[in-house]
Amino acid sequence: MADKMRKAKTIRVADWMSKRVLAVETSDSIAIARQLIAKHRVNQLPVLENEKLVGIVTDRDIRDAYPTSMMINRGKEIDRFADSVTVEEVMSHDVMVVRPDMSLAAAVSLLRRHRIGSLPVMRSGKLVGIITRSNILDFVLSGAGIKLPKRNAMRPRAAKKK
């Protein structure tokens, strides 16, 4: 009975993930990925090839791929460069994924342990969502299932004098 109660209270990835996932194809340019990231205010995009997840590209991957600020007066050259570099050239290939039924706590643990910003959510080989740091913050701010310690318990105690 207690086990059933625990399962009923388990918060799953599916409860907080973003179901509408923006993604790019391996052949898309980093210019396209940069535009999507900026327009939709996201930090990472799953990368698909024939509808199969093959990587993830982050705003940092794209920023690092762009020429240095020394080329600041060469906007057209930078644009041509960005159009010529594909997402596949700058993405991370080894992608950690989770299932929708995984506990949110386990997903948070993976995000923290591996210092990553998101985890694509897969079901039967299909991308069905993404869980991000922003989703986790939404969960925290909602107050769902969180018990805060009493304020007094958080205060450090002064050391006793001898």
Write the DSSP assignment of 77-134 as a string of letters: HHHHHHHHSBHHHHSBSS---B-TTSBHHHHHHHHHHHT-SEEEEEETTEEEEEEEHH
Which two three-digit tokens encode residue 1?
């009975």
pLDDT grade for 76, boundaries at 50, 70 and 90: confident
| Whole-number percent of the chain with pLDDT over 90 | 64
Residue 149: pLDDT above 50?
no
Residue 100: pLDDT above 90?
yes
Q: Residue range 6-24: average pLDDT?
A: 84
Q: pTM of the prediction?
A: 0.76
At residue 97, the pLDDT reads 97
At residue 148, the pLDDT reads 43
CB 13 within 8 A of CB 99: yes
Query: String of b and e for 101-140 (b: at least 16 CB within 10 Å)?
Result: ebebeebbeebeeeebbbbbbbeeeebbbbbbeebbeebe
Q: d(Cα 20, Cα 57) in Å, to the nearest integer?
A: 17
Cα-flanking dihedrals φ and ψ of residue 95, to 5°?
-105, 125
Query: Bigger pLDDT: 68 or 160?
Result: 68
pLDDT grade for 145, boundaries at 50, 70 and 90: low
Q: d(Cα 6, Cα 53) in Å, to the nearest integer?
A: 33
